Amino acid sequence: MAIDENRFLADLHRLREFGASGVGKGVVRPAYSDADIAARHWLAGRMIEAGLEPQFDPVGNLFGLAPGRSLLLGSHSDSQPEGGWLDGALGVIAALEVARSSDHPVSVVSFQDEEGRFGVTTGSAVWSGGLPLEKADTLTDAAGVSFGTARAAMGDLAQDFVDPARFSGFIEMHIEQGPALDAAGDQIGIVTDIVGIRDMTITFEGQQNHAGTTPMHLRRDAFQALSLFNTRLNDRFRNVVTPQTVWTIGRVDLHPNASSIVPGRVRFSMQWRDGDAARLVRMEEIIRSTAHEVAEEQGMVLDYGPMLGLEPVAMDQTLRLALEDGAAQVAPGKWRRMPSGALHDATNVARHLPVAMLFVPSINGISHDFAEDTAEHDLIAGLAVLDHAVHKLAGPAG
């Protein structure tokens, strides 16, 4: 059977309705939210209609299993707090469309909490053994809810994890989430490798006090400590980083966050990413030494939360070449090999299976924002490349 483009697009738009933000095509569908759980149950129904056996594992990863050994396709269907309609969802629905139209055994997965409400690609990290379930259950979100409490909301989940040995490999289709393809007018990106990441929380605890009566030289102002830390860090990274290295302080909880109170405490996220494992280690050394130095100077108590991380991973050559063959057929002269600056579940799956990824352009390079979007013809081109690769990997009969 051939790919049904209209059915593919209709399911993409149907999935978008679960947690629709009402702003553009954006979605609010964080892991274990009502919208996320409802979306997963809808996906399970579509998997049954596709002839697949749905199985939720203990953390809510949803697999649609083909009989026997199969190629696994998929991504995630949870979103960022302000998410785009395609981040993750595209890979899940493209996988479903290929599975239900292919003559070859293809299984489908929607991993849980890829967006890290609780950690970093939490669902596939637990499934792949990269993160022990007992440790995952202690992770908390920004509101202090634990992973263990949140996953219980899914009700009676399976007790066992799906065995990776059921699968011959994993291919994830995803939006680029960056500017490269869109700016170059290319239609397809074939991923060469996925960057590594470190993510942790840092706390500076000083002295809360009156904003009018506390002289500047007597203050132990947590915001000033963060400001000094950030300035020094940017300066000290200069000789270590490359133009591809990124680091982000994305969440800042200033306490008590009141205009007439000198903030006594700041808890902030510290995340950094690079394609070189040694550079990630070097950056961690600089982060910790700078935090210690600033805490000493500013009279702060310094505390670190758990650090989570993933190593950089190269894509499997056989799977990648099958995707490149598809790209050359579907988008001749309009495809490129490229690294992934975004994280993906493929990094965790690579612990057990050969993995590969393909990208389609993000309009204006926007993602992790309600405005995230991709032209329909690019979505369909990516689906055709994925389908081509599945047939090519199935062998001559394919």
Residues in contact with Mn ion by CB under 5 A are: 87-88
Q: Whose CA is closest to 169, among 77, 313, 69?
A: 69
Length of the chain, please?
398
Could you give the CA distance from residue 249 to residue 242 in angstroms, rounded to a whole number?
A: 18
Q: Which CB atom, from 31 or from 342, has the smaller least distance to ligand HGY?
A: 342
Q: Which CB atom, from 19 or from 88, has the smaller least distance to Mn ion?
A: 88
- Among Mn ion, ligand HGY, none, residue 343 binds (CB under 5-8 Å by kind): ligand HGY
- Check residue 200 and report its DSSP letter: E
- Check residue 287 and report its DSSP letter: H
- Among ligand HGY, Mn ion, none, residue 119 binds (CB under 5-8 Å by kind): none
Could you give the CA distance from residue 184 to residue 201 in angstroms, rounded to a whole number?
A: 37
The pairing of beta strand 62-65 with beta strand 53-56: antiparallel
Could you give the CA distance from residue 155 to residue 56 in angstroms, rounded to a whole number?
A: 10
Q: Which CB atom, from 102 or from 124, has the smaller least distance to Mn ion?
A: 124
Residue 197, helix vs strand vs coil: strand
The residue written with tokens 């200069």 in the block is: 238
Q: Which CB atom, from 35 or from 71, has the smaller least distance to ligand HGY?
A: 35
> In angstroms, what is the minimal distance from the CB of 110 to ligand HGY?
14
Binding residues for ligand HGY, rule CB under 6 A, total: 5
- Among Mn ion, ligand HGY, none, residue 113 binds (CB under 5-8 Å by kind): none
CB 163 within 8 A of CB 353: no
Q: Which CB atom, from 164 or from 341, has the smaller least distance to Mn ion?
A: 341
- Among ligand HGY, Mn ion, none, residue 369 binds (CB under 5-8 Å by kind): none
> In angstroms, what is the minimal distance from the CB of 89 to Mn ion?
9
Q: Whose CA is closest to 11, among 322, 385, 383?
A: 383
Task: Assign 3-state DSSP to the chain and report helix, strand, coil percentages, each to 5.
Answer: 35, 25, 40
Contact pick of 175, 343, 383, 393 for ligand HGY (by CB under 6 A): 343
Q: Which CB atom, from 60 or from 88, has the smaller least distance to Mn ion?
A: 88
| Residue 199 contacts ligand HGY per CB under 6 A | no
| Residue 131 contacts ligand HGY per CB under 6 A | no
- Among Mn ion, ligand HGY, none, residue 54 binds (CB under 5-8 Å by kind): none
Could you give the CA distance from residue 133 to residue 122 in angstroms, rounded to a whole number?
A: 10
C-alpha 99: how far from chain center: 23
| Residue 114 contacts ligand HGY per CB under 6 A | yes
> In angstroms, what is the minimal distance from the CB of 78 to Mn ion?
9
Q: Which CB atom, from 270 or from 342, has the smaller least distance to ligand HGY?
A: 342
Side-chain-side CA neighbours of residue 398 (13 Å):
15
Contact pick of 27, 338, 342, 384 for ligand HGY (by CB under 6 A): 342
Q: Which residues of the shown chain bind ligand HGY in the complex (CB under 6 A)?
A: 114-116, 342-343
